[in-house]
């Protein structure tokens, strides 16, 4: 089963019925969440909670749902120089900490894709996947639902 790394945007859209992408993301999770192993990072959950701050019940629902259906990965301190170097490199896009942790996790998980609504940013970002190889991340198809 292929891994899908969930970014902040789909989480916010899933738990906010007023979000323009709510129906598409809800349909994607209903159709695809059983076919893939879902992953994310603590930084993504923190960012999603912040963006859902208008409703504590939605924050809690997001955190509880995430704990049940996703494997959450903690970024170790020794990885911080790598992700901060990416943030510096893409500061004009910009790349925030949550984005950097998604790319870091994508680099860790073979055959993974990223579920994001941020094609502007993630379409630009490159990650070093080998000694000198530069590659664009792979995406789960939520944008065209």
Q: 118: pLDDT confidence band, cut at 50, 70 and 90? A: confident
CATH number at residue 17: 3.40.50.1010
Q: pLDDT tens digits for 15-68?
A: 999 999 999 999 999 988 788 999 999 999 999 999 998 789 999 999 999 999
Neighbours of 54 (CB within 10 A): 9
Asked whether residue 141 is assigned to any structural domain, the reply reads no
**Tally of structural domains, the chain:** 1
Where b means 16+ CB within 10 Å and e means fewer, 104-127 reads bbbbebeebbbbbbbeebbeebeb
Asked whether residue 66 is assigned to any structural domain, the reply reads yes
């Amino acid at each position: 089963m292929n891994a899908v790394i969930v970014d902040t945007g789909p989480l916010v859209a899933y738990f906010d019925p007023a979000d323009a992408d709510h129906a598409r993301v809800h349909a994607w999770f209903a159709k695809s969440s059983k076919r893939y192993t879902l992953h994310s990072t603590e930084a993504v959950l923190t960012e999603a909670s912040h963006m859902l701050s208008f409703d504590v019940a939605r924050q809690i629902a997001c955190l509880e749902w995430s704990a049940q259906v996703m494997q959450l990965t903690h970024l170790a301190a020794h990885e911080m120089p790598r992700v901060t170097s990416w943030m510096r490199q893409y500061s004009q896009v910009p790349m925030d900490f949550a984005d950097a942790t998604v790319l870091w996790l994508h680099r860790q998980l073979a055959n993974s894709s990223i579920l994001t609504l941020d094609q502007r940013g993630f379409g630009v970002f490159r990650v070093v996947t080998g000694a000198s190889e530069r590659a664009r991340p792979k995406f789960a198809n939520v944008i065209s639902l």
